[in-house]
Structure 1
Amino acid sequence: MEQFIDTLPKVELHVHLEGTLEPALMFRLAERNGIDLPYPDVDSVRAAYEFKDLQSFLNLYYNGARVLQTEQDFYDLTWAYLRRCADENVVHTEMFFDPQTHTERGIPFETVVRGIARARADAEAQLGLSTGLILCFLRDLSEESAIETFRTALPWREHFVGIGLDSAETGHPPEKFERVFAMVRDEGFHIVAHAGEEGPPEYIWQAVRRLGVERVDHGVQCTGDAELVEHLRRAQTPLTVCPLANVKLKVFDRIEEHNLPRLLEAGLKVTINSDDPAYFGGYMNANFRAVAQAFDLDRDTLRGFTRNAIDTAFVDDQRRRELYALLDAA
């Protein structure tokens, strides 16, 4: 089964670029930019990767992001992740990035976008890998900040395909951002949002009804509301589930306790993703292996995760046909 997973074409729809910052690269960038880290070496950083909840992870995540200063830094970050995708037979990926994490530190928006864009172009030319970029608003900041970020981003709109919502979920319901997502819809962007990882099923309802999301990022708390599960099933609203991340952040204590089997039994459109793999100890192949082993999933189910992701990827018809062909050939 491990060999099958390694060779299976995969499509990732839920990964945070800043969450792919491996400790070794973090230290190289810190040295390059003259930034002091509160850790003496790579091993001590990894030792800090024990989180009790989402917020404890975010505290470390934002501290690590300080090393990203220049266009070359963002290129190096993105290129390292895309090389990993090629190694793991990820044939298409749609990456989140958090501009407010950087603009709040005085990093110009264009510095972030240009570095990422160069790496994406190189990945397509050298690795045959297609990519999309999704700009995310930080939900623990104000809606006014999100609106300002969106307006700043519009001159660079050709670089991203969708808009999302991420960061600390508890106490920050999707309805807080209803006005800015109305603006997003008017501009014709695809819409996604994190909902129902730590937050209640009501947050998923709000993401669907008030923001108009096309995909729900995480969504695992939907099983607490039978009506919501039925709605998601009928609409075939995709859930971008991140199993290892859910365990690392204590949404579930063990992978064997994850509700993935319930989601599948309910007929929901599930995809498997890595989330913040540098921090959660698993890229795509590791997540596929974890659920395959924990729940004795067969090959058709694993193929189904890829097919679901292709179905709902933000790509044109030609690229979608190419991705289906890659999956069928495998």
Structure 2
Amino acid sequence: MSAIKSVGGRTLAVAALTLGYALMPVSAEAKQPPHWFEQFKSTASDAELYTFLYAMPKGGDLHHHMTGSALSEWWYELALAQQQHGYRYYTKVRINNCNGFGGNEFGYRPYLLHLHNLLESSYKKLTDCEKSEYKRLEDLNAREKKAWLNSIRLDAAHEGRDEFFQSHWQRLDELMNSPYLIADILVKNMQAFGDEGLIYMESMMGASGYTDPDGNPIEPDAVADIYRARLQQPDAKATGVTVRMQESILRFAGNAEDQLRRYFDFVSRNNDLYLAVNMVGREDNDKGHPMRFKETLRDLRRTYNNVKLSIHAGEVDEPNFHIRDTLRIGADRIGHGVNLIDDDDLLRQMRYGPYLIEINLISNLLLEYIERYDQHPFPEYLRLGVPVALSTDDRGMWDSNITDEFFVAVKEFNLSWDELTQLSRNSISYAFIDENNKAGLLNTLNSRLDSFEQGFESQGVKALSDITPVTYSFVCKQYQLCDFTASMP
């Protein structure tokens, strides 16, 4: 080293020493030990990993449809309980070929659809032949009840996108008419999510389209009051979960622009509870393309200053410019974003940017937008710095929960602890809630994460000994995680 030359008045000693150290083998003592989470992952069973993720504090779920978030068993239980509000339901258990089928098979209420649900007031308007096809919901026998429960979840290998979009919602039909039932479903989700460590829900939970038991419309503002009252009840408050809502327009409907105008006004007037409007519905129906709404949204922004947009975009299995167009018309968040991976320029521009993609891993698999998880662009977005957060979409119809989303992400994409916590923080940081409440939620999340991490570092797997996850059929079928009482040490 004594013969090192000087170039331009600067010594090469530092460069030489640096090169020398770079070429020297690093001793075992000098290596950094693996992070505690990496150590845990390397030895944990699937049951231990799942239990860890179930117990882990989480942020929010920013993308879920409330009517799609109810487990089949919840629908049945709560539908029968609606008799206290005067609602009684009938379901179709046979086809008697009344009136030569008597309906449009391509409409919203196809005749040849078993286990379709009606209000009693609608049932009474049917012909005698049509009435003979229906039973009171509470009168179903065991076989019929099992079929009814299975009819509104994707539980068979042959079911997929078409079954979901063309049968599930049509079967529910007038079950969705009672705002009291939907409010109860909200609380059921708050309880279940709260048990999983979630602290915030931003639900697509409309206030339009509801009726009383006789089929008369209930005004949206009255529905919002029903929701507010339900959220003040002790069982809702005990969950510790903060709730805000979005209204949804059916993007391909003939009156979608009128829906957009009505819902902007409604959200603005009910801004304590409602924060945003969302464009939903099959994106592969070209009548709902984003640029259809450009002029309507420009007009609305001249008047309203307190309504956000979170729009489904890129939930297709073909390249298009829907995400680009969705941002052009003013979206603040992107739902799904699967085909962003095909738009190189936009992908580059969205790195470290203000727009979050709401990732729905299970939904995208079951609705066949990907065939396998290794086709999902989520890890590319995450590790390129595109803001992302995990969400559940229609978890009742997948028979899953938010822990399943985290479990899939860790198992399939080897997430680190920093990535896990970043996903949770993103789900609060990119929420539409006001800044004061957002800051409080972030403080709560960070405090809980710190306590959880310290407890696990000091106790290891023993910290999970009192945790028994509540699971559903998805993780049982996909990962054989079915009986946690027999799985944990």
TM surpasses 0.5: yes
TM superposition score normalised by structure 1: 0.89
Q: Tell me if the contact between 1:146 and 1:180 (Cα under 8 Å) persists in the aligned partners.
A: no
2:262 is matched with 149
CA spacing shift, 1:321–1:152, aligned 2, 3 Å = closer
1:131 pairs with 2:243: yes
Q: Post-superposition shift, 1:111?
A: 5.0
1 CA distance for matches of 2:221 and 2:146? 30
Task: Give the 3-state SS of the residue equivalent to 1:15 in structure 2.
Answer: strand
Matches within 5 A, 1:38-53: 38-39=114-115, 40-46=144-150, 49=154, 50=156, 53=160
Q: Say what the alpha-carbon RMSD is for the aligned residues.
A: 2.5
TM-score, normalising length: structure 2: 0.62
Quick check: 1:34 aligned with 2:88?
yes
Note closer, same or farther for the CA distance 1:77–1:183 as it changes in structure 2 (3 Å cut): farther
How far, CA to CA, are the matches of 2:163 and 2:296 in structure 1?
28
Determine which of 225, 230, 233 is the counterpart of 1:114: 225
Shift of 1:275: 0.4
Specify the SS of the correspondent of 2:283: coil
Correspondent of 2:356 among 234, 238, 246 = 238
Distance 1:62 1:106, change over 3 A: farther
Contact 2:79 2:181 (8 Å CA) reproduced: no
Whole-Å Cα distance in 1 between the matches of residues 393 and 74 of structure 2? 18
CA distance in 1, matches of 2:381, 2:79: 42
Larger Rg: 2
Q: Is 1:69 aligned to 2:177, yes or no?
A: yes
Gapped runs of 5+ residues in structure 1? Answer: none
How far 1:240 moved relative to its partner? 0.4
Distance in 2 between the 1:4 and 1:225 partners? Answer: 36
Residue 202 of structure 1, aligned match among 306, 321, 331 = 321
* Aligned-partner Cα distance in 1 for 2:146–2:358: 30
**1:24 CA displacement:** 1.7
2:252 aligns with 140
8 Å contact kept, 2:62–2:202? yes
- Are the aligned partners of 1:273 and 1:287 in contact in 2 as well (CA < 8 Å)? yes
Q: 3-state SS of the aligned residue for 1:244? A: helix
- How far does residue 9 in structure 1 lie from its aligned partner after superposition? 2.3
Give the aligned length: 328
Distance 2:293 2:382 in 1: 30
Q: Given the alignment, which residue of 58, 71, 79 partners 1:22? A: 71
How far apart, in 2, do the equivalents of 1:81 and 1:263 lie? 28
Q: Are the structure 2 counterparts of residues 128 and 30 from structure 1 closer, same or farther at C-alpha, using a change threshold of 3 Å?
A: closer
Q: Is the 8 A contact 2:261 2:300 kept in 1?
A: no
Which of the residues 405, 411, 414 maps onto 1:293?
411
Distance 1:299 1:46 in 2: 36
Partner residue in 1 for 2:429: 311
Report the Cα offset of residue 80 of structure 1.
1.1
Does residue 78 of the first structure (1) align with residue 181 of the second (2)?
no
Extract unaligned runs of 5+ from structure 2: 1-48, 92-113, 116-143, 450-489
Deviations 1:8-55 (A, max 9, x none): 222111011111122123223444433223332145532662575544
Counterparts of 2:222 and 2:365 in 1: how far apart (Å)?
34
- Counterpart in the other structure of 1:191: 309
